[in-house]
Amino acid sequence: MTYWVRFVAEDSSAQSAVQLLMAFRVSSSRDPMKKFVIALTLAGVAVLAAYSETGYSRFNQPLSKDQEILHALNRLTFGPRPGDVEAVRKMGLKKWINQQLHPERIAENPEVAARLRPLESLQMSAAEIATKYPPPQVLRAMSQGLLPLPADPEARQQAELQMQRLRARRAAKEDEDVKAKVQGKGGDRLQQAMRQQVVSVADPVERRKLIADKAPQQALPYDLNEAKLYRAVYSNRQLEEQMADFWFNHFNVYIDKGADRILTSTYERDAIRPHVFGKFRDLLEGTAESPAMLFYLDNWQSISPDTTPVRRFAKQKAKQARGLNENYARELMELHTLGVDGGYTQHDIIEVARCFTGWTISQPNRGGEFIYNDRVHDKGEKTVLGIKIPAGGGRADAEKVLDILARHSATARFISTKLAKKFVADDPPPALIDRMVKTFHDTDGDIRAVMSTMLDSKEFFSEGAFQAKIKTPLELVVSAVRASDAQVDFAIPLSMQIAQLGEPLYRKIEPTGYSSANSEWVNSAALLARMNFAHALADNRVPGSKVDVTKFADDPAVVARQVLFHEASQQTLESIKKALAQREPTPALVAGLVLGSPDFQRR
């Protein structure tokens, strides 16, 4: 049967309406909940579209005091928890924002340290990670005698054990392929589900050891995913966590590209997190020197075209010969600093790439550090954006480029605009951007000062910004956990949910990182998947997370106030009540419907 459904989404603040005419097929199932989920999902597309089409005039319309508090909590944290609104009201909104801008002044939640403690790779150097969790190619080289075994007796014993497992896995591959054909892709799904349930109830230390023993390399993304989610859920320094996520996406690397598996932990810890509120120039250099970035964008292999490469092995293939690589130079200007419309040319890309020759890594697969190799540096004269860099230079050539880019007017505008798009609206008012750009220039790229200018603005606390952003999958999942006050003892199932919603953490292949634009996340399929997650969470079907549903009522309006921290829209309440007309309402069912509703998707 074909149903024609017309949804009208009203934006009460602007007194306007957006009409969405959609045709879709619904099976003739007698289950009203199935039809409700589809209808509410499509209604959500219309509602969210209404909030993405705002004129600049709305940025002159102020919020009420209560709206300001809720707005700040939705934008500067991963979503309010029960009691947060009252706590901010008691402290004072201005003081709370100032604290969030200075996370070192905030006492951290001890739950964070307790949950991070078993994740041992987070505190290791890249070399220590490579020794304890060597990648398969290093293990193969050791087993073939091409690389020496670790000198440390414990590390040697672990390497020998892992080599044995590698050989055993190769020997068992044929048998596994046969099983996969019988059981389907991925093997026995029932066994997989049972294993996840067993792992979710294990002691955190034992669980981590079990994973590291079984698949050592998997322990590294495991640690990163667990840490990111525990911090997002439990940290009192919420804006710092938002900024860490923002800057990691801005300076994105892909954890599954070769040596980046062992280099990403130190990248986030040492290059990103210390500088999230600091000087942009320091953040830029921290990422430029990071082995993870050098490997990800191939600059570690970039050498002067005039250099005669020295091949270690006589049989080295010609395709492995190195030369000038423009990847990092291009992304440095397009994505990290000037922006695609920043006024640079292909000639500038080549010149910047020449300046960065010699910025490389010693033994990346063994956790090597950044080194500058003067022998392969291009010492000729360069001209970058019209500025001459004299011949005969060395490492300072690239430092000069970073200076030029960090202080360029296009960089100030690109960074200010991207921050405003993340925290204000997809189309932020030009007047706000201009003030942020001025602050960037006046403070030599002080990120905290630029954020302060934005957060002190009338535009941030306006009808134009209020509920105008759509949650990314990470924000949706974490905000649902926080709003429902769920207890999380195993975060990997949550990271799997985030991946299923389209944002696998640390696994964005492209250097763009994940976008915060509404258009990336608003479509009927995504909203339906979000609804499914909300029901699973509220029904305690997400392993490792526990929601006390006895805290919720079976009245949708009451539950909406509990998890939205404001009144639900009339459209949402009416849709939920219609769905419950033929089903007995339970707290878990009602909570799941509210958490999956269009109202909860906005922040």
Per-residue pLDDT tens over the stretch 372-409: 999 999 999 999 999 999 999 999 999 999 999 999 99
Identify the three-state secondary structure at position 398. helix
Q: What is the mean pLDDT of residues 356-368?
A: 92
Q: How far is CA 523 from CA 34, 487, 501, 527, 529, in A?
A: 18, 30, 11, 6, 10
Does position 24 have pLDDT exceeding 50, yes or no? no
**Above pLDDT 70, what percent of the chain?**
83
117, amino acid identity: R
In DSSP terms, 8 is beta-bridged to 19
d(CA 149, CA 216): 17
**DSSP-based three-state secondary structure for 127:** helix
The predicted-structure confidence for 475-501, as pLDDT tens digits, reads as follows: 999 999 999 999 999 999 999 999 999
In the chain, % of residues over pLDDT 90 = 69
pLDDT of 557:
96
pLDDT for 170 equals 72
Binned at pLDDT 50, 70 and 90, residue 50 comes out as: low
SS (H, E, C) 534-545: HHHHHCCCCCCE
DSSP state string for 404-439: HHHT-HHHHHHHHHHHHHHHT-SS--HHHHHHHHHH
Q: For the segment 524-556, what is each residue's pLDDT rounded down to a tens digit?
A: 778 889 999 999 999 999 999 999 999 999 899
Query: How many Å is the Cα radius of gyration of the chain?
Result: 26
H-helix or E-strand containing 387?
strand 387-389
Of 400, 384, 428, nearest to 517 by C-alpha is 428
Mean per-residue pLDDT over the chain, rounded: 86
Gap between the Cα atoms of 151 and 131, Å rounded: 10
> For the chain, what is the total number of helices (H) and then of strands (E)?
28, 8
**Is there a contact between 327 and 298 (Cβ–Cβ < 8 Å)?**
yes
Beta-bridge mates of residue 17: 10
* Distance between CA atoms of residues 239 and 241, nearest Å: 5
Q: What count of other Cβ atoms lies within 10 Å of the Cβ of residue 270?
A: 16
pTM of the predicted protein model: 0.88
CB atoms within 10 A of CB 60: 13
How many angstroms separate the CA atoms of 439 and 304, rounded?
38
Instruction: Look at residue 444 and tell me whether its pLDDT is greater than 90.
Output: yes
SS3 109: coil
**Which comes out higher in pLDDT, residue 508 or 30?**
508
Are 526 and 498 spatial neighbours (Cβ–Cβ below 8 Å)? no
Give per-residue pLDDT as tens, 169-183.
777 765 555 454 444
Contact 338, 329 (CB under 8 A): no
Q: Helix 238-250 to helix 409-423 angle, to the nearest 10 degrees?
A: 130
H or E element that contains 120 = none
Tell me which residue of 259, 248, 272, 273 sits closest to 335, measured CA to CA: 248
At 21, phi and psi to the nearest 5? -105, 115
Give the torsion through C-alpha atoms of 94, 95, 98, 99, to 10 deg: -150
Q: Residue 4 — very low, low, confident or very high, per pLDDT cuts 50/70/90? A: very low
Report the candidate in 347, 350, 304 with the shortest Cα–Cα distance to residue 327.
Answer: 350
Which two tokens mark 349? 């890309």
Beta strands 545-546 and 487-488, pairing class: antiparallel
- Maximum Cα–Cα distance across the chain: 80
**Which ranges constitute the DSSP H helices of 216-309?**
219-234, 238-250, 260-266, 280-288, 291-296
pLDDT classification of 295: cutoffs 50, 70, 90? very high
Give the residue-averaged pLDDT of 54-82.
94
